Amino acid sequence: MDCIFCKIANKEIEKKFIYEDDEVMVFPDIHPAKPVHLLVIPKKHVPEFSQVEDPVLFQKLFVIAQNMVKREGLEDKGYRITINGGGAQVVNHLHVHVMGPLTKTAAL
């Protein structure tokens, strides 16, 4: 399958991970929107949020996203956790954006 995040997951494309376990990988976004912009990604190909079948995957992704917030010292600096889906995403392999620092924002 021609999926960039699958190729990174199976090491077809070399990438330095910030965090990695059997199921999840984390690396910086190639076009950071904020000084910290990490992608928390399941290694298994899940096309998008609405197609997650195992709720335990949500737990894993969010616990790791929380760890990244702490690791980057964003707890009190403003951060945003984003999942784009339903066609708003560019890459059709589920990923959670962790971005910061940022200031208070009105509703988007």
Q: Which stretch binds Zn ion (CB under 5 A): 26-34, 45-53, 55-63, 66-74?
A: 45-53
The listed partner (Zn ion, ligand 5GP, none) that binds 29, CB under 5 to 8 Å by sort, is ligand 5GP
Q: Rule CB under 6 A: is residue 81 a binding residue for ligand 5GP?
A: no
Q: Rule CB under 5 A: is residue 44 a binding residue for Zn ion?
A: no
Sole residue written with tokens 């298994």:
44
Concerning whether 37 is annotated as a catalytic residue, the answer is no
Site residues (CB under 6 A) for ligand 5GP, limited to 2-31: 4, 27-31
As a whole number of Å, the CA-based R_g of the chain is 14
Q: In terms of Cα–Cα distance, which of 36, 21, 35, 29 is closest to 5?
A: 29
Q: How far is the CB of 64 from Zn ion (least distance, A)?
A: 18
d(CA 101, CA 72): 9
Listing DSSP states for 42-63 in one string gives ESS----GGG---HHHHHHHHH
| Residues in contact with ligand 5GP by the rule CB under 6 A | 4, 27-31, 84, 89-91
